[in-house]
Amino acid sequence: MKDKSQVRLKQLAVHRVGNKAKEEGVVVSKEPVDLHDDYLRDLLLNYFLAPFKQEEFFRFTHTSDLALNELFAYATLMFNEPSSFFEYSVHILNHLYEQSDHPKVKSGELYVVHFAGCMMEDQEVDAIGIFKSENKDNFLTFQDSDDDLNVNYHTGVNIKSVDKGCMIFNIEAEDGYRVKLVDANSTDALFWKEDFLNVTELKDTNFNTKAVMNLCKDYSEEVFAQSESKKAQVDFISRSVDYFSKSETFDLEEFTSSVIDEPESAERFKNYTQSYAEKRGFDHFDDFEINKNTVRNMKRKFRNFIKLDTQIEIKFSGYNPEQSEQYVERGFDQERGMHFYKVYFYNES
């Protein structure tokens, strides 16, 4: 959902949920939140939507029957019976409480939201948002009184970040809907994603692109770096990123021939790819559209520098395979008994 300009808040319920292991219970609000205040509505809308910048989509799942997934069932009821939205929000609250039995799960406010005007694949759909705020901040407040300025404070939720959240879009219901996910708290393991929501990542262009780029990263660190020089490792990463940046689709044979010159190394990479896919339960790594946004995000994870034991680093600007091939040479000095890099350039700055 890239265009958020048309999104509207239709209904909002706020409850409080505690930790079940500590028997903290729940607090059910008496009625939905009044959304007539335009400023409050805009603040809440930005608070809920701002965290969803990632490319990943998820879908609801279940080991035996998708209809038995509680959140899938409640979302379906809310989409079909919006007049009973508040009633179903209480069911979601109770379901969350039942799953909140991990000792590190924090108590907090639960927001259940009905959105309208969400754009998904060129069509406008409704969405159900479920959010939880766990952390509290202290805020200073100032008040003018008799030509004086008084300072006070209050404790509340910082609306710059959501601790946990999901957006359930009313599209592809038969496959578990399209779901966005955010979880800023890693101390309670995977309770939000797996225990409460029970979602799995959707195997779309983002998933495939990210999976193969992670494969290249792991291969460079686990295999390539052990049998080749650090320069060769950087060359492999540079060529890989260059391929993903310039190509529209991924073809395993084409990719291998583009990034690896030696037949023996190419065969080793193909064997690694097959083993990698089997261990992670992937069907195959071939013939899919490359997601360019994912490529831009994944670039940050790739190492494009060589760190030497002499407290010197050689960093390559961007991912240009020609840089390391034409302007950097690696050798060994017999007299010193040390490896060296020779760097060519025209000017320095």
| Residue 235 to residue 319: CA distance in whole angstroms | 9
**pLDDT for position 217:** 87
Query: Number of C-alpha atoms within 13 angstroms, CB side, residue 328?
Result: 20
Predicted pLDDT of residue 3: 63
Give the C-alpha separation, 306 to 230, whole Å: 6
The single-letter code of the amino acid at 113 is: V
pLDDT number for residue 154: 84
**More confident site: 264 or 28:** 28
CB within 8 A of 124, min separation 6: which ones?
6, 117, 118
DSSP readout, 81-107?
-GGGHHHHHHHHHHHHHHH--STTPPP
| Domain residue ranges of the chain, discontinuous segments joined by + | 8-202, 206-343
Euclidean distance between CA atoms 115 and 52, whole angstroms:
14
- Give the pLDDT confidence score for residue 339 in this predicted structure: 86
Cα–Cα nearest to 294, from 165, 200, 204: 204
Beta-strand runs (E) in 134-260: 137-145, 148-156, 164-169, 178-183, 199-201, 249-250
Higher pLDDT, 56 or 60: 60
Per the CB < 8 A criterion, the answer to whether 107 and 17 are in contact is yes
How much is the average pLDDT of 178-206? Answer: 85
Q: pLDDT for 297-338, tens place per residue?
A: 888 777 767 778 788 877 776 656 565 567 777 788 898 888
The DSSP call for residue 77 is H
| 124 vs 184, higher pLDDT | 124
Per-residue pLDDT, 203: 85
Residue 276 has what pLDDT? 84
Q: What is the mean pLDDT of residues 44-49?
A: 93
Q: Six-digit token pair at 110?
A: 């639960």
pLDDT greater than 80 at residue 231? no
The average confidence (pLDDT) of the chain is 87
The answer to whether the CB of 37 falls within 8 A of the CB of 154 is: no
Note the pLDDT of residue 186: 64
Instruction: Give the C-alpha separation, 295 to 346, whole Å.
Output: 31
55 vs 69: CA distance, rounded Å: 24
| Phi, psi (degrees; rounded to nearest 5) at 30 | -80, -25
pLDDT (average), residues 20-44: 94
pLDDT digits 0-9 by tens, 200-209: 988 888 888 9
Structure-token pair, residue 291: 């997601």
Report the sign of the C-alpha dihedral through residues 82, 86, 91, 96, in that order. Answer: positive
Q: Are 22 and 94 in contact, with CB atoms under 8 Å apart?
A: no
pLDDT of res. 187: 63
Query: pTM to 2 decimals?
Result: 0.77
More confident call, 22 vs 139 = 22
Q: What is the pLDDT of residues 270-291, one digit of tens each?
A: 888 888 888 877 776 778 899 9
- How does pLDDT run across 68-100, given as a tens digit for each residue? 999 999 999 999 999 999 999 999 999 999 999
User: What's the confidence (pLDDT) of residue 56?
Assistant: 87
Nearest to 241 by CA among 345, 324, 344, 342: 324
